[in-house]
Amino acid sequence: MKNPSVIKWSLKYGLVSALAGMLCCVAPAVLFMFGLMGGVVAISFADFFYQEDGSLGVGSVLLRIIAVCLGFFAFITFRRKQNQCSIDPKRKKLNLILLFILLTTFGISFFLIFESTSTWYFDEFIVPQQQIELKK
């Protein structure tokens, strides 16, 4: 059995966790980008997760909780896989500490990147299209 890579594991699950946490904004942006969704539908899909004043809604909080649970799942799964390998206990502990730090760093970084990118994309492309669609 091969020892799992801490960096690959944290990158993969950090990205998956961040996508899960930002699904409310990334999904409509991607669907709009490929022409599968109009501006009005994309905005209404994203608005479903937020309250009218723009603050976090129940759906948005639920997505963030799912993202944290995915990170926790990644940590537990890595620990199980690592325990199948015969490596030094000190190294196992160091790997778990590194995984926690990297997973948290990558997850939060990817989340913030997705948030700023989707906000920019909404403001630049989706909102103007929504305005055009509403005028018709």
3-state secondary structure the chain: CCCCCHHHHHHHHHHHHHHHHCHHHHHHHHHHHCCCCCHHHHHHHHHCCECCCCCECHHHHHHHHHHHHHHHHHHHHHHHHHHCCCCCHHHHHHHHHHHHHHHHHHHHHHHHHHHHHHHHHHHHHHHHHHHHHHHC
User: pLDDT digit string (tens) for 68-83?
Assistant: 999 999 999 999 988 8
pLDDT of 52 > 80? The answer is: yes
Q: Which residues pair with 56 in a beta bridge?
A: 50
Instruction: Return the structure tokens found at 66.
Output: 């799912």
> What pLDDT shows up at residue 1?
61
pLDDT in tens, 98-128: 999 999 999 999 999 999 999 999 999 999 9
Residue 129 scores a pLDDT above 70: yes
Q: Give pTM, 2 decimals.
A: 0.89
Domain segments of the chain as ranges: 6-135
Mean pLDDT of 34-60: 89
